[in-house]
Structure 1
Amino acid sequence: MEILGFIAAIGIGLVLGLIGAGGSILTVPVMVYLFAIDPYLATTYSLFIVGVSSLAGIIPYTLKKQVDFRTSIFFGIPSILGVFIARRYLHPIIPNDIIEINGWMLNKDMLLMLLFAVLMVFAAINMIWKKEKSDHIDPTNNRIGKVIFQGLLIGLLVGLVGAGGGFLIIPALIIFHKLSVKTAIGSSLLIIALNSLFGFVSSNNIEEIHWPLLLEITAIALGGMLLGSWISQKVDGAKLKPFFGYFVLFMAMMILFQELK
């Protein structure tokens, strides 16, 4: 299973490099099901792997001037606040055993995986069917307020489930800031890197990490990221989104089945 996990690590980086999103959607299930890591700890692994990979992936987009640093800051600062709130305050107050129904117990680990699966379903729908442009532009003040709110909300999600949030960030960047697909991807990688790495250092279970394993997976993911970033400069990233969306939807169904069977 670990061999499959290392192979999947290439896919994690490849997907991040290609479409600027989705790496964490793969990382948490890979950590849980292929490396047998506790779901809560898996979110911490995911934050490090996705954060470092995204940071490296920014390089080719920066060289092509496809990163909007100003917009990334508007998203990044409130999202970092959301990550901090989730990792420091929300995680610790979630009880290990949440509710029991006719002998069936919903615990903290299962809740995190189910929440992750639900996010994956929404991500899949977004990638398969949602349009990436809009003819309507909000007034500047309203747009900034929405960007700040979206950044905070994305940060909370990142902190809770270890997701980078790229599948939410990219459509928002395109709709509210009229960024091109490639610039939205580059900017998304920067925001994901900020969110993920801050979420990692804010985690309260870093001492439980098996660092040799984490660094091996991260190195492999980095290779996939650089390959994906190179390919994305040759291929229209928007055309890859529906295909990835169906894959995400399939994985979400598998997680729901595994947790609820």
Structure 2
Amino acid sequence: MILPWIGALLVGLSLGLLGSGGSILTVPVLIYLAGEQEKVAIAESLGIVGTISFAGFIPYALKQKVHWRSVILFGLPGMAGTYGGAVVAEFVSGTFQLLLFAVVMLVAAVMMFRDKNNLKSAGAIEISHAWWKIVLEGLAVGVLTGLVGVGGGFLIVPALVLLGGLPMGLAVGTSLLIIALKSFSGFYKYIDVLDGLGLSINWQLVLVFSLIGAVGSLIGNKVAGKISNERLKKGFAVFLVLMGGYIIFMNI
């Protein structure tokens, strides 16, 4: 059982370092290393990533590296969208969910690679979108992430950086809270979805995985402070390409 716990640590490191990426690691770890059924793994992933993300968010909040306006305008509609996406997920296959997830990851990576502008400093935030557009973006991302059963940081971080005008460091802290809120919303609905399918959550696995991942997120948070915003951004894009390609390969 040691391999799933190593995977849990890597999930936490990813979330603490990049503010995303945990879900794409969590689902394969739960399926291939912990032996969970596909739909159950997707549901458990939301609970685990939500818990780890909230733990990783705390240090950023203490450092005042959270943009609360974005949390409200992006996160709250995202919660509603994720709940709705989880409803739709009951009627599609797990393979479809994972392939859709991989495609969106590659699109997000292209967005990050094509942005040639220097990231803004933490004191020079520019919100380029009207508030109602940010609300719609949050809702759309929520629906999609609820459908594919992941926290959605791979979409939230690029949206906050490229569309919301936040610097990478501030986007990561903000993303972690948004991921937690959306993940818990989707997890709540997935419990009903699993019940309708005659399946259930392995609560012990979720608890232990979350605790180990939370430790990893704190470590990742410490390391992130020693890496430049630009390197984080490019590393994040490379991560999306590699993981997206791997998921497509495993499901085709």
Shorter-chain TM band: 0.7 to 0.9
Structure 1 partner of 2:136: 149
Check conservation: 1:15, 1:228, Cα contact below 8 A. yes
Structure 2 partner of 1:160: 147
Q: Deviations over 1:158-197 (max 9, x none)?
A: 2111222222222222334432221111111111110001
Structure 1 partner of 2:224: 232
Partners in 1 of 2:163 and 2:238 — Cα distance? 26
Identity %: 41
Structure 1 partner of 2:89: 91
1:170 aligns with 2:148: no
RMSD: 2.3
Going from structure 1 to structure 2, the CA distance change for 1:119 and 1:231 (only over 3 Å counts) comes to same
Check conservation: 1:39, 1:112, Cα contact below 8 A. no
1:82 aligns with 2:81: yes
Alignment of 1:44-59 (within 5 A): 44-59=43-58
The structure 2 residue matched to 1:109, chosen from 94, 102, 108, is 94
Deviation at 1:247, TM superposition (A): 3.8
Structure 1 partner of 2:123: none
Structure 2 partner of 1:65: 64
Q: Report the residue type matching 1:84 in the other structure.
A: Y
The structure 1 residue matched to 2:104, chosen from 109, 119, 132, is 119
Size of the alignment, in residue pairs?
A: 242
- What SS does the aligned partner of 1:215 have? helix
Check conservation: 1:182, 1:237, Cα contact below 8 A. yes
The answer to which of 143-152 and 176-185 deviates more is 176-185
Going from structure 1 to structure 2, the CA distance change for 1:23 and 1:221 (only over 3 Å counts) comes to same
TM-score by length of 2: 0.86
Partners in 1 of 2:147 and 2:208 — Cα distance? 24
1:214 aligns with 2:206: yes
Going from structure 1 to structure 2, the CA distance change for 1:74 and 1:110 (only over 3 Å counts) comes to same
Deviation at 1:244, TM superposition (A): 4.3
- What SS does the aligned partner of 2:23 have? helix
Q: Report the residue type matching 1:170 in the other structure.
A: V
Partners in 2 of 1:172 and 1:165 — Cα distance? 11
Structure 2 partner of 1:197: 184
Going from structure 1 to structure 2, the CA distance change for 1:123 and 1:171 (only over 3 Å counts) comes to closer
Deviation at 1:217, TM superposition (A): 1.2
Unpaired runs of at least 5, structure 1: 95-107
The structure 2 residue matched to 1:251, chosen from 236, 243, 247, is 243
Structure 2 partner of 1:24: 23
The answer to which of 230-239 and 149-158 deviates more is 230-239
Partners in 1 of 2:241 and 2:163 — Cα distance? 26
The structure whose Rg is larger is 1
TM-score by length of 1: 0.83
Q: Report the residue type matching 2:3 in the other structure.
A: L
Q: Report the residue type matching 1:60 in the other structure.
A: P
- What SS does the aligned partner of 2:90 have? helix
Q: Report the residue type matching 1:163 in the other structure.
A: V
